């Protein structure tokens, strides 16, 4: 499978010495949705700007569609679409006028009406940008990113400001684009969005990738959980010794890497002891849980580093 995005040892340092991207490497094959996740300040947007050719890396190399997107911009720009965190469109133009202006600067642009219809803005085509809601402006941003029929689409927080219906519509559109062969790289704060859309993902912290893989691979490294409440008079100490349980009064949580086996053992014990498990809830680790664990661990490491630095001082 051909890689259409390649980052190798990528660094980006701003004036003053702040390193926003600290030597990351990854590839994205054609027709894949790849998500970059991370807390605020993790380096996601700084990375995407390098891939889009909006800035040159301090060190390392970037290739998009086989070209350096910064130095060979003319070869790359007509084949990619970009949705930035903020579009910055003239507020007095209508949605149609804005799209028409953008189409005039785009090679092989699709019809304006088609672009607006793709994102559900047909009924707002004649409305001035300043009168559009925040979610509608994000839809307009997406329409302009798609107007050139891009081979590679960069989406920076694409559903911020959208309501639940708009977010789901955008997800369906991204899936259709992927199925049609478009490669999509997105950043998002919505972990459900990444879990639903991404074929693969990378989680960044302080400019570095701390874990990467498919959503299933990232979550599989974290334990599943079983939660329930025990009846009055039944202590957690009666649970089978093979189940590593933590109890807070009648509330019990079991963490396990063998969810099916642990749940089977628990249910067999409950049936044999005639114990009702109220509020029984068993589920594999979610991407949100994995993300929060990684972020917490990384912050802990940072605190240790800061303490060590203070000792040296």
- Residue 110, φ and ψ in degrees, nearest 5: -75, 160
How would residue 300 be classed by pLDDT, with cut points 50, 70 and 90?
A: low
Q: Is the dihedral of CA 186, 191, 197, 200 positive or negative?
A: positive
Mean pLDDT value across the chain: 90
pLDDT at position 295 is: 72
Secondary structure of the chain as H, E, C letters: CCEEEEEEEEEEECCCCCEEEEEEEEEEECCCEEEEEECCCCCHHHHHHHHHCCCCCCEEEEEECCECCCCCHHHHHHHEEEECCCCCCCCCCEHHHHHHHHHHCCCCCCCHHHHHHHCCCHHHCCCEHHHCCHHHHHHHHHHHHHCCCCCEEEEECCCCCCCHHHHHHHHHHHHHHHHCCCEEEEECCCHHHHHHHCCEEEEEECCEEEEEECHHHHHHCCCEEEEEECCCCCCHHHCCCCCCEEEECCEEEEEECCHHHHHHHHHHHHHHHCCCCEEEEEECCCHHHHHHHHHHHHHHHHHHHHHHHHHHC
Q: Could you tell me the two tokens for 241?
A: 């010794």
How would residue 286 be classed by pLDDT, with cut points 50, 70 and 90?
A: confident
Q: What is the mean pLDDT of residues 246-269?
A: 94
pLDDT at position 78 is: 93
Q: What is the mean pLDDT of residues 290-311?
A: 58
Q: What is the mean pLDDT of residues 277-305?
A: 76
Q: Tell me: pLDDT of 311 over 60.
A: no
More confident residue, 88 or 151: 151
Share of the chain above pLDDT 70, in %: 94
pLDDT at position 306 is: 44
Q: Is the dihedral of CA 299, 305, 310, 313 positive or negative?
A: negative
pLDDT at position 101 is: 93
The CATH classification number of 3-219 equals 3.40.50.300
pLDDT at position 160 is: 86
Report the residue count for the chain.
313
How would residue 291 be classed by pLDDT, with cut points 50, 70 and 90?
A: confident
pLDDT at position 294 is: 74
Q: Tell me: pLDDT of 296 over 80.
A: no
Q: Tell me: pLDDT of 307 over 70.
A: no
Share of the chain above pLDDT 90, in %: 72
Q: What is the mean pLDDT of residues 126-154?
A: 94
Q: What is the mean pLDDT of residues 167-190?
A: 93
CB 196 within 8 A of CB 175: no
CB 183 within 8 A of CB 32: yes
Q: Tell me: pLDDT of 308 over 70.
A: no
**Tens digit of each residue's pLDDT (9 = 90 or more) over 4-54:** 999 999 999 998 889 999 999 999 999 999 999 988 889 999 999 999 999
More confident residue, 297 or 239: 239
Query: Measuring CA to CA, how many Å separate 304 from each of 39, 99, 210, 298?
Result: 19, 51, 17, 10
Q: Tell me: pLDDT of 3 over 60.
A: yes
pTM of the model: 0.82
**Tens digit of each residue's pLDDT (9 = 90 or more) over 81-137:** 999 887 778 899 999 999 999 999 888 899 999 999 999 999 999 999 999 998 899
CB 252 within 8 A of CB 280: no
Ramachandran region, residue 89 (left: φ > 0; alpha: ψ -120 to 50; beta: rest): beta
């Amino acid at each position: 499978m051909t890689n259409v995005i390649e980052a190798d040892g990528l660094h980006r340092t701003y004036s003053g010495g702040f390193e926003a991207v600290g030597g990351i490497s990854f590839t994205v094959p054609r027709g894949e949705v790849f998500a970059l996740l991370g807390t605020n300040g993790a380096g996601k947007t700084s990375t995407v700007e390098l891939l889009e050719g909006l800035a040159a890396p301090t060190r390392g190399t970037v290739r998009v569609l086989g070209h350096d997107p910064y130095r060979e911009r003319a070869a790359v720009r007509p084949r990619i679409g970009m949705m930035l965190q903020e579009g910055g469109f003239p507020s007095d133009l209508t949605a149609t006028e804005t799209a028409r202006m953008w189409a005039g600067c785009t090679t092989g642009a699709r019809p304006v009406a088609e672009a607006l219809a793709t994102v559900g803005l047909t009924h707002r085509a004649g409305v001035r940008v300043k009168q559009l809601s925040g979610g509608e402006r994000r839809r307009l941003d997406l329409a302009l990113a798609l107007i050139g029929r891009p081979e590679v689409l960069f989406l920076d927080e694409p559903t911020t400001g959208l309501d639940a219906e708009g977010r789901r519509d955008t997800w369906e559109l991204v899936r259709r684009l992927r199925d049609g062969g478009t490669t999509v790289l997105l950043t998002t704060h919505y972990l459900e969005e990444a879990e639903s859309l991404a074929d693969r993902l990378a989680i960044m912290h302080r400019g570095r990738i701390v874990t990467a893989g498919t959503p299933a691979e990232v979550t599989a490294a974290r334990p599943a959980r079983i939660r329930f409440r025990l009846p009055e008079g039944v202590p957690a100490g009666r649970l089978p010794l093979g189940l590593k349980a933590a109890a807070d009064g009648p509330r019990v949580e079991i963490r396990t890497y063998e969810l099916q086996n642990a749940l089977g053992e628990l249910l067999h014990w409950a049936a044999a002891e005639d114990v009702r498990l109220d509020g029984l809830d068993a589920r594999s680790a979610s991407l949100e849980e994995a993300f929060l664990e990684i972020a917490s661990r990384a912050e802990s490491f940072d605190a240790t580093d800061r303490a060590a630095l203070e000792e040296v001082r």
